[in-house]
Amino acid sequence: MDKNLGYFNLVMSPESQQTLSFKVNNATSKSITVEMAFAHSTTNGNGLAIYDSSKATKDSSLKYNIEDFVDIPKKEVTIAAHAQVIMTAKVTMPKGMDTGILAGGFSFKEKEGNQESSSSKGVSIKNEYRYVIALVTQQNTQKVSPQLKLNEVKATQVNSRNVFAANLQNISPTYLQDMNATATVKGVTNSELKYSFENSDMKMAPNSNFDFAIPVSIKGNIGDQTSKALEAGKYHLSMTVYGVKSATGAYQTTVNGKTVNYEYKWTFEKDFEIAGEKAKKLNNSDPPVHYKEPINWLMIIGIALILIILLLIFLIFSSRRKKENHPK
């Protein structure tokens, strides 16, 4: 294990075991209870490998789940003020995994209910801190190539904004580093529709999947965009993905105006369809699409008052004219 890495990178023989130790310090002036947990690595919606998503489902390509080979004897400890304790975990290398890696992460957090909270104007804020240490295990350092698949393409939402979601899956027991994806969705039913998006420097965890989001927008990022309504109908996705930067890589593309070489390249083409009810439901819950300008009641009242005044003036002048034309 290289102690300078900042995470555990273990090379172990089949069925061998190692015990890992963690020094946990309490720098506060009161005792705290710390919970220790472990989860297999996954890839989040931003295309980044993460190590603390214990609620994530197991990927269909995952043969060996590292969670089954990590044992934490004591998952909860109470630490006195300004004190330190040692927490441990036992790691076992599964038999039969001749190539590739297993990846996960240890997380440490203060037990819920002990954290400090603050409130302002009726809003309560709970401060929760989590510390994560990654674990990578393998039987050897033999290189394994990533393998990328395109699964389902569908319409959904990210942060209440309409997007096309292309599910990408790394079915290989290795990281997909330096991932650069460019995707274009074109309308088939309405050929005038076209949506494009690019994201570079992503990293997929071994045997994991995530939804690559293509915004249904005029311009801007997912969190700050103006959206047109999503149209029902047939669409076609074209996608190119590069992976693992290398000066001698066989595949070349331009990233931020610079030429970059990659070791791997995948191209995908896929037709998909969005039903009318699905499009309607998404549009109704997308704020920039569903949003209507609020009624300016002050302006309406002002115009109404002006019209009333003009009407009164007209009636007064009309009454005077009648009196002048019909003297007693």
Over the stretch 134-157, which tens digit does the pLDDT of each residue have?
A: 999 999 999 999 999 999 999 999
Q: How confident is the model at residue 211 (pLDDT cuts 50, 70, 90)?
A: very high
Buried residues in 4-36 as b, exposed as e (16+ CB within 10 A) = eeeebbbebeeeeeeebeeebebeeeeebebeb
Q: How confident is the model at residue 91 (pLDDT cuts 50, 70, 90)?
A: very high
CATH number of the domain that residue 52 is part of: 2.60.40.10
> Same domain for 100 and 160?
no
Torsion (CA) 292, 297, 300, 305 in degrees, nearest 10? 180
> Same domain for 228 and 310?
no
> Same domain for 275 and 311?
no
> Same domain for 152 and 37?
no
Q: Which residue has the higher pLDDT, 123 or 157?
A: 157
For the question of whether the overall pTM of this predicted structure is more than 0.85, the answer is: no
> Same domain for 121 and 255?
no
In a domain, 328, yes or no: no
> Same domain for 208 and 166?
yes
- Pairing between β-strand 194-204 and β-strand 161-170 as defined by DSSP bridges: unpaired
Residues with Cβ within 8 Å of 273's Cβ and at least 6 positions away in sequence, in order, are 233, 234, 235
For the cut 70, the answer to whether the pLDDT of residue 229 exceeds it is yes
For the cut 90, the answer to whether the pLDDT of residue 317 exceeds it is no
- Distances in Å between the Cα of 283 and the Cα atoms of 34, 156, 254, 295 are 44, 10, 34, 21
In a domain, 74, yes or no: yes
Spatial separation of the C-alpha atoms in residues 228 and 217, rounded to whole Å? 6
Spatial separation of the C-alpha atoms in residues 310 and 300, rounded to whole Å? 15
Q: What is the mean pLDDT of the chain?
A: 88
Three-class secondary structure of residue 97 per DSSP: coil
In a domain, 1, yes or no: no
* Gyration radius of the chain over CA positions: 30
Residue 290: predicted pLDDT:
56
Boundary of a domain, candidates 138, 167, 198: 138
In a domain, 269, yes or no: yes
> Same domain for 131 and 164?
no
Q: What angle do CA 283, 287, 290 make, to 5 degrees?
A: 50
Answer yes or no: are the C-beta atoms of 73 and 90 closer than 8 Å.
yes
Which residue range(s) make up the domain with 113?
8-138
Q: Which residue has the higher pLDDT, 173 or 297?
A: 173
Residue 114: predicted pLDDT:
61
> Same domain for 187 and 253?
yes
Q: How confident is the model at residue 302 (pLDDT cuts 50, 70, 90)?
A: confident
Boundary of a domain, candidates 96, 116, 138: 138
Number of domains in the chain: 3
> Same domain for 191 and 109?
no
The values of phi and psi at residue 301, to 5°, are -65, -40
> Same domain for 243 and 218?
yes
In a domain, 134, yes or no: yes
Boundary of a domain, candidates 138, 164, 197: 138
CATH number of the domain that residue 275 is part of: 2.60.40
Residue 118: predicted pLDDT:
53
> Same domain for 152 and 286?
yes
- Tokens at 125, concatenated: 């804020």
> Same domain for 127 and 179?
no
What DSSP element (H or E) covers 216? Answer: none
Give the neighbor-by-neighbor strand order of the sheet with 70-71. 17-25, 84-92, 70-71
- Closest by Cα among 129, 162, 108 to 278: 162
